């Protein structure tokens, strides 16, 4: 009985923090909270997410395409991919802080590393799963390797690749929260700043992170629909029916 | 080599302190108010104390481990039946453990107690140790708790910089930053930004502007200076890195912006009553020599030389002449 009530009251306080500026818990007339204040942190977090995701794509997609097309390097694409997921991100970020210093560059590289495995693994697997008869047919019409990749394999593999991109994007965005410890003011400032922002600020930060993560997921799901070839959609509909 | 050097320096300091204390010392108990002098000397074992169970707690970082050990070993020397719980996490957890009777007491910072337990805004926390102590004690009494007088040293936030940077820009106080800080990056914990006793206060009370504020994990507070990511960094006055080192300079808080971070041993009235007069006396005795250079040295032996807090505490008590 009291638990739902407590959750409800902490949510109303958090929304109040998002909507209206107030004095910091530590006093001194310092104003915190309000839409612009919260957006400032959210924007930084979104920016570094976009940069890191772009870097991940630029590296993992070509490698995955080539390896998948050749059918070689499964150990690298899948094994490395899975091992990569096991490395705690905070370790990567702090290690990089000691090597290349703090700030956007550090965070972008660390998050890029986090984003590689899902894209690499999914791209490789997606290409291996492309119907071999379609590839044979393409070769039969005289396409060369590059043409087979870009015109046949990539479109057919696109939905699976996109689901890897979605996973990467969510991982990167959620993890960018800890960038607050290495020089970037993301929403992690709110989540870790209970002494200053109070419980309302902590919950507000968590709510905004969750909402933005869902927004990213929805937006990329839309992209995934767009890049799915009509033929595949029809095929799936038929299988579903 | 450097370790021996530091050890020798420590013993020299402690010996000098012990000597000075031997001449004109006062215990932490009521005696010092009546003006009688008393040797810091050996903690006397009192048979009355045997069978009195005392559990000393501490939070979970180096300085607290060392302090917890110092109190525990001192109380043991006085004949108490001592056990320890030296890994309690944050102050909220430690306070709960004290209220629940899981521990008999633990070392806390005046500034943390006032700010975290009693929500005193940071700009209203006294930067004078005695004032802060009086205020905390009054608040604690309302909850059936009490605290003993503060340590000589204060572990407070401070603005640190490389000594080379300080010399180049002629910096000894925070006020000296006026006209120079706009070209400098300040690093601090994320919450420093809005704290009136941190960035917000440096801007408002000192009228300073910085090129940029960079939020970092407190574990990186010296790394950012070393790597040149920031010219100024929020450090703690009792940091191991400041022990016998000329590498870093701490700027003096000439406007009294930063609250007092002296350590007080918090306990409950019930525990204090049951433990008898030796309890307060021993706590006063073991704290007497805990000045800033001494605590930095003790922190350095654990953080940098990787010695055990228990051993470091034992050495401190021994060289202070408190135990044999």
Average pLDDT of the residues of chain A: 89
- Contact (CB<8Å) A183/B195: no
Which segments of chain A are extended strands (E)? 22-23, 31-32
ipTM for this model:
0.78
What share of chain B in percent tops pLDDT 90?
74
Q: Rounded to an integer, what distance in angstroms lies between the CA atom of residue B61 and that of residue B221?
A: 16
- From the centroid of its chain, how far is CA A24? 32
pLDDT over 90 (residue B180): yes
How far is the alpha carbon of A32 from chain B, nearest alpha carbon, in Å? 8
* Averaged pLDDT for residues B68-75: 97
Measured torsion, CA atoms of residues A105, A106, A111, A116, in degrees rounded to the nearest 10 = 80
Across the interface, which of A24, A180, A183 has its CB nearest the CB of B194?
Answer: A24
- Note the pLDDT tens digit of each residue in A185-231: 999 999 998 889 999 999 999 999 999 999 999 999 999 999 888 87
Could you tell me the strand order of the sheet in which B105-109 lies? B81-85, B53-57, B105-109, B263-268, B145-147
Interface mutation vs chain A, best among B91, B109, B195, B233, most A CBs within 10 Å: B195
How far is the alpha carbon of B226 from chain A, nearest alpha carbon, in Å? 10
Q: Rounded to an integer, what distance in angstroms lies between the CA atom of residue A96 and that of residue A53?
A: 18
Closest to B322 measured CA to CA, from B112, B71, B130: B71
Across the interface, which of A103, A188, A196 has its CB nearest the CB of B229?
Answer: A103
Q: Enumerate the residues of chain A whose CB falls inside 8 A of the CB of residue B197.
A: 26
List, in order, residues 6 or more apart from A173 with CB less than 8 Å away: A45, A46, A49, A209, A212, A213, A216
pLDDT over 80 (residue B8): no
How far is the alpha carbon of A9 from chain B, nearest alpha carbon, in Å? 20
Q: Rounded to an integer, what distance in angstroms lies between the CA atom of residue A141 and that of residue B10?
A: 84
Judged by average pLDDT, the poorest of A15-19, A166-170, B114-118, B165-169 is B114-118
Nearest CA in chain A to B197: A26
- Note the pLDDT tens digit of each residue in A135-158: 999 999 999 988 998 899 999 999
Q: Enumerate the residues of chain A whose CB falls inside 8 A of the CB of residue B255.
A: none
Q: Enumerate the residues of chain A whose CB falls inside 8 A of the CB of residue B211.
A: none
- How many beta-carbon pairs under 8 angstroms link A with B? 91
pLDDT over 50 (residue B5): yes
- Contact (CB<8Å) B115/A195: yes
How far is the alpha carbon of A197 from chain B, nearest alpha carbon, in Å? 8
List, in order, residues 6 or more apart from A151 with CB less than 8 Å away: A138, A143
**Count of all residues that appear for chain A in the document:** 241
Nearest CA in chain A to B186: A183
Across the interface, which of A28, A29, A180 has its CB nearest the CB of B190?
Answer: A180
| Residue of B10 and A185 predicted with greater confidence | A185
Where residue A80 falls among pLDDT bands split at 50, 70, 90? Answer: confident
Number of CB atoms found within 10 A of residue A131's CB: 12
pLDDT over 90 (residue B237): yes
What share of chain B in percent tops pLDDT 70?
88
- Note the pLDDT tens digit of each residue in A55-66: 999 999 999 999
Closest to A124 measured CA to CA, from A148, A153, A146, A144: A153
pLDDT over 60 (residue B267): yes
Across the interface, which of B116, B121, B224 has its CB nearest the CB of A28?
Answer: B121
- Contact (CB<8Å) A185/B190: yes
Q: Rounded to an integer, what distance in angstroms lies between the CA atom of residue B40 and that of residue A129?
A: 80
Nearest CA in chain A to B227: A101
Across the interface, which of B119, B195, B216 has its CB nearest the CB of A183?
Answer: B216
Q: Enumerate the residues of chain B whose CB falls inside 8 A of the CB of residue A184.
A: 215
Q: Rounded to an integer, what distance in angstroms lies between the CA atom of residue B68 and that of residue B78?
A: 16
C-alpha pair distances (Å), A227 with each of A155, A232, B101, B199: 7, 10, 63, 48
Judged by average pLDDT, the poorest of B8-12, B46-50, B130-134, B265-269 is B8-12
Where residue B7 falls among pLDDT bands split at 50, 70, 90? Answer: low
| Residue of A39 and B38 predicted with greater confidence | A39
The predicted structure's pLDDT at residue B175: 96
- Note the pLDDT tens digit of each residue in B19-42: 444 444 333 333 333 333 344 689
Average pLDDT of the residues of chain B: 88
Across the interface, which of A183, A195, A196 has its CB nearest the CB of B229?
Answer: A183
């Amino acid at each position: 009985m009291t638990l739902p009530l407590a959750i409800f009251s902490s949510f109303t306080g958090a929304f109040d923090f998002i909507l209206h500026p107030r004095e910091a818990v530590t006093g001194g007339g310092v104003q915190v909270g309000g839409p612009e204040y919260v957006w400032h942190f959210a924007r930084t977090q979104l920016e570094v997410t976009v940069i890191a995701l772009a870097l991940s794509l630029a590296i993992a997609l070509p490698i995955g395409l080539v390896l998948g097309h050749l059918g070689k390097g499964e150990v690298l694409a899948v094994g490395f991919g899975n091992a990569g997921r096991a490395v705690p991100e905070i370790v990567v970020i702090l290690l990089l802080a000691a090597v290349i210093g703090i700030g956007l560059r550090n965070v972008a590289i660390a998050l890029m590393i986090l984003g590689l495995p899902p894209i690499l693994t999914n791209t490789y697997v997606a290409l291996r799963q492309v119907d071999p008869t379609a590839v044979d047919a393409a070769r039969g019409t005289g396409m060369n390797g590059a043409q087979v990749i870009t015109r046949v394999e990539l479109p057919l593999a696109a939905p699976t690749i996109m689901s890897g991109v979605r996973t990467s994007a969510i991982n990167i965005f959620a993890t960018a929260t800890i960038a607050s410890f290495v020089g970037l003011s993301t929403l992690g400032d709110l989540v870790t700043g209970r002494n200053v922002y109070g419980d309302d600020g902590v919950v507000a930060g968590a709510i905004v992170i969750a909402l933005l993560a869902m927004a990213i997921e929805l937006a990329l799901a839309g992209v995934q629909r767009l890049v799915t070839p009509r033929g595949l959609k029809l095929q799936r509909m038929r299988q579903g029916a | 080599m450097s370790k021996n050097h530091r050890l020798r320096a420590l013993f020299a300091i402690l010996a000098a302190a012990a000597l000075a204390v031997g001449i004109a010392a006062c215990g932490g108990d009521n005696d010092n108010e009546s003006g009688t002098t008393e040797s810091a000397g050996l903690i006397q074992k009192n048979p009355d104390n045997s069978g009195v169970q005392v559990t000393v707690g501490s939070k979970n970082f180096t300085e607290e481990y060392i302090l917890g050990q110092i109190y525990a070993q001192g109380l043991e020397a006085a004949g108490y039946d001592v056990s320890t719980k030296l890994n309690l996490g944050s102050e909220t957890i430690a306070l709960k453990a004290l209220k629940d009777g899981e521990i008999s007491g633990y070392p806390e910072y005046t500034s943390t107690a006032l700010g975290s337990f009693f929500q005193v805004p940071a700009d209203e926390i006294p930067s004078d140790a005695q004032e802060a102590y009086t205020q905390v004690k009054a608040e604690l009494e309302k909850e059936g708790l009490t605290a003993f007088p503060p340590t000589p040293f204060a572990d407070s936030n401070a603005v640190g910089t490389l000594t080379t940077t300080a010399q180049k820009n002629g910096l000894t106080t925070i006020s000296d930053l006026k006209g120079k800080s706009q070209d400098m990056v300040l690093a601090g914990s994320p919450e420093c930004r809005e704290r009136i006793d941190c960035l917000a206060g440096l801007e408002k009370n000192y009228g300073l502007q910085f090129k940029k504020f960079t939020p970092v994990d407190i574990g990186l507070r010296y790394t950012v200076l070393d790597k040149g990511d920031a010219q100024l960094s929020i450090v703690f006055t009792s940091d191991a890195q400041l022990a016998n080192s000329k590498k870093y300079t701490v700027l003096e808080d000439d406007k009294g912006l930063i609250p007092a971070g002296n350590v007080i041993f918090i306990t409950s009235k019930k525990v204090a009553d049951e433990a008898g007069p030796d309890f307060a006396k021993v706590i006063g005795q073991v704290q007497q020599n805990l000045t800033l250079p001494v605590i930095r040295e003790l922190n350095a032996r654990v953080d940098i030389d990787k010695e055990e807090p228990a051993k470091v505490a034992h050495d401190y008590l021994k060289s202070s002449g408190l135990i044999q």
